[in-house]
A and B are shown apart, each in its own frame.
Chain A
Amino acid sequence: MHQMISELVEALQYTFIQRALIAGCLIAVCCSFLGVFLVLRKLSMIGDGLSHAAFATVAFALLLNQSPLLVSIPLLMLASVAIYALNKKANLYGDAAIGMIAGTGIALGVLLASISGGFNVDLFSYLFGSILAVGKEELYAAMFLCAAVISVVALFYNELFSISYDEEFAEVNGIEVKRVNVLLMFTTSITIALGIRLVGTMLISSLIIFPAVTALQISSSFKKALILSASVAVFSVISGIFAAYLLDFPAGATIVLMNALLFIISFIIRRIKS
């Protein structure tokens, strides 16, 4: 035990661990907040759809030799609007629209990777995440964008809550449902673009879904659900990074498995309570 603690203290001395913890916690909080709104609106798979689309945007950025974050954010915003429009205007079922965008994203990604000479190390690092390789610029970008996402959630909290509970009533109440929905899509796109660095395009949707569903098992009010979701997300990132460091596991996968473990615990608590 003593040795484990001293190893963790030692880990905290490393800049790459410090950066991973800060960036990870910030992105996890964004994912957890948005996750509550998306899960309650039965749009949680939007994270999955956009993360698959992100595979294409990263491949495109690498092909152009540009920053994947800067290329991904606007393209994912467009993809999110496409999901929303397909869902609303083309009268498709929500998950069908998400599936279509996800499939197109993966296909485009494979095509672009092939054009640029096949899968390389960079593209693989975005597939499965490389949180321990977060650079200084990426950390600053994460801090700035996370602050923006959290501000949007805080400023539009009541609108987002009202629309999540009863969209029709919110519209009657003068809330601009369409604009708030697009805002939710945009903030989700930014969060996905940031999060793929953390756990990769394959696992980012887990960071959106797990903390929210875990919190929803045992929360009696909306505020409690948001706070608990953020707490679960942050705990998963911190414990996941430390566990990965101690056991020499891949960090992204360990974070997701920590989330899964917390969900199982909350599920059992709910069963016992009821």
Chain B
Amino acid sequence: MNSEEEKIVEAVNVSVKYGQTEAISGITIAIKPGDYIGIVGPNGSGKTTFVKAMLGLVPLSEGKFVFGVKPVKIGYLPQRTSALDPKFPASVSEVISHGLLSEKKFPRRINSADKRRIDEIASMLGIETLKNRNVGSLSGGQQQRVLLARALVNKPEIIILDEPTNALDPHIRENFYELLSKLNAETQTTILLITHDAGNIGNHARKFLYIDRKLIFFGSFNEFCASCEMTEYFGPYAQHYICKRH
């Protein structure tokens, strides 16, 4: 297998502008199958813009994303979970079923095989008993699992999670991270996880992408922690904060 085949997606000189403001510029990275990447950066640094550009939700002003040879399925868990209407009358099964629509042709119908797949993913994430419950009536942690199930139900090769643990308390947050690590280890699903939790992500992700409108660092945690260049960039304390628990 050559290096080209190993890439599941490659960002080539990716830039995005909102009006005249450059949100991100010139980001070039190659993501391999099975990577678990923590995406970190200050507020407004372009982390969400970067993944939205990858998902095709915002147009690129320059550069391109090159996906692997076959069509790559991407699961997505958006940032604004709390912005979803808690009064929306959707059952857990109905919400998970949305994740299967990408594979359907018109008219997109959910069949019995799909229902079995929904049961399977609900069971895998420990929410099988909640299937008929209204999503709005669940706790934050349970809702997050439902949305993760929606992102995973069509067996994506890549899953992108945008600050999924923001609204969760520390105990549930750790459970969620463990769930992702298990998923990554067992199914080789590539994970891109945006987080503010820079001090903790090193315990779970294997690679580290630091963006501050441009690429600051991309590589393994060991490389990051040993990099003198990064010590110079962050100062010794910030680098230690990120690396201490790794």
Contact = CB atoms under 8 A, between A and B. Distances in A.
B108 A169 contact: no
B101 A174 contact: yes
Contacts of A40: 85, 88
B105 to A, nearest CB: 10
Contact of B94 (A156, A159, A161, A168): A161
| 5 nearest A-B pairs in the assembled complex, by CB-CB distance | A221-B91, A219-B89, A173-B102, A225-B89, A162-B98
Interface string A101-135: 00000000000000000000000000000000000
B76 A169 contact: yes
Contact of B98 (A166, A219, A223): A166
B84 interface: yes
B87 A221 contact: no
Nearest to A166: B84
Q: Is the interface of A mostly helix, strand, loop or mixed?
A: helix
Nearest to B85: A40
B111 to A, nearest CB: 12
A171 interface: yes
A216 B104 CA distance: 28
Contacts of B85: 40
Nearest to B75: A172
Nearest to B137: A220
A168 B55 CA distance: 10
A150 to B, nearest CB: 14
Interface of B: 55-57, 74, 76, 78, 84-85, 87-91, 94-95, 97-99, 101-102, 104, 106-110, 132-134, 150
Contacts of A219: 89
Given A162-B98, A165-B98, A172 B55 contact: yes
Given A158-B110, A171-B57, A172-B56, A222 B98 contact: no
Contact of B101 (A162, A215, A222): A162
A170 B74 contact: no
B118 to A, nearest CB: 13
B89 A222 contact: yes
A136 interface: no
By size class, the interface of chain A is 20 to 34
A176 B237 CA distance: 47
B107 A221 contact: no
Given A158-B110, A172-B76, 8 more contacts: A40-B85, A158-B97, A161-B90, A165-B84, A170-B101, A220-B91, A221-B132, A225-B89
A31 B98 CA distance: 25
A175 interface: yes
A223 B109 CA distance: 14
A88 interface: no
Nearest to B87: A216
Contacts of B55: 172
Interface in A211-240: 215-216, 219-225
A40 B104 CA distance: 24
A161 B101 CA distance: 11
A155 interface: yes
A171 to B, nearest CB: 6
A222 B74 contact: no
A155 B104 CA distance: 13
Interface string A140-168: 00000000000000011011011011101
Contacts of A164: 88
A220 B89 contact: yes
A159 B76 contact: no
A224 to B, nearest CB: 7
B172 to A, nearest CB: 21
Among B84, B89, B132, which residue has the most Cβ atoms of chain A within 10 A? Answer: B89
A221 B90 contact: yes
B43 to A, nearest CB: 20
A242 B98 CA distance: 42
A222 B87 contact: no
B102 A220 contact: no
A221 B110 contact: no
Nearest to A155: B107
Interface string A11-41: 0000000000000000000000000000010
Given A172-B74, A221-B134, A222-B94, A156 B99 contact: no
B108 A158 contact: yes
B79 to A, nearest CB: 9
Contacts of A173: 98-99, 101-102
Given A165-B90, A221-B90, A174 B102 contact: yes
A158 B101 contact: yes
